[in-house]
Copies of this chain bind each other. A is one copy, B any other.
Amino acid sequence: MSSVCLSMEGGAAASTPAALPYYVAFSQLLGLTLVAMTGAWLGLYRGGIAWESDLQFNAHPLCMVIGLIFLQGDALLVYRVFRNEAKRTTKVLHGLLHIFALVIALVGLVAVFDYHRKEGYADLYSLHSWCGILVFVLYFVQWLVGFSFFLFPGASFSLRSRYRPQHIFFGATIFLLSVGTALLGLKEALLFKLRDKYSAFEPEGVLANVLGLLLACFGGAVLYILTRADWKRPSQAEEQALSMDFKTLTEGDSPGSQ
Spell out A's residues near B (CB within 8 Å).
Answer: 1, 17-19, 121-122, 125-128, 130-131, 134, 165, 169, 173, 176-177, 179-180, 183-184, 186-188, 190-192, 198-201, 205, 208-209, 212-213, 216, 220, 223-224, 227-229, 258
Contacts and interface: CB of A to CB of B under 8 A. Distances in A.
Contacts of A165: 228-229
A121, A165, A209, A224: which has the most chain B beta carbons within 10 Å? A209
A183 B191 CA distance: 15
B224 A169 contact: yes
A234 to B, nearest CB: 16
B199 A125 contact: yes
Contacts of A201: 122, 125
Contacts of A192: 191
Contacts of A199: 121-122, 125-126
Contacts of A180: 179-180, 183, 216
Please give the count of copies of this chain that the complex contains: 2
A19 B165 CA distance: 16
Contact of A130 (B1, B130, B209, B224): B209
B184 A126 contact: no
B212 A130 contact: yes
The 5 nearest A-B residue pairs measured at CB: A122-B199, A127-B212, A191-B191, A127-B209, A180-B180
Nearest to A202: B125
A169 B231 CA distance: 14
Contacts of A213: 127, 130-131, 134
A127 B189 CA distance: 12
Given A169-B224, A187-B184, A19 B258 contact: yes
A223 B174 CA distance: 12
Contacts of A191: 187-188, 191-192
A187 B128 contact: yes
B258 A127 contact: no
Contacts of A18: 258
B131 A177 contact: no
Contacts of A17: 258
A125 B19 contact: no
A198 B126 contact: yes
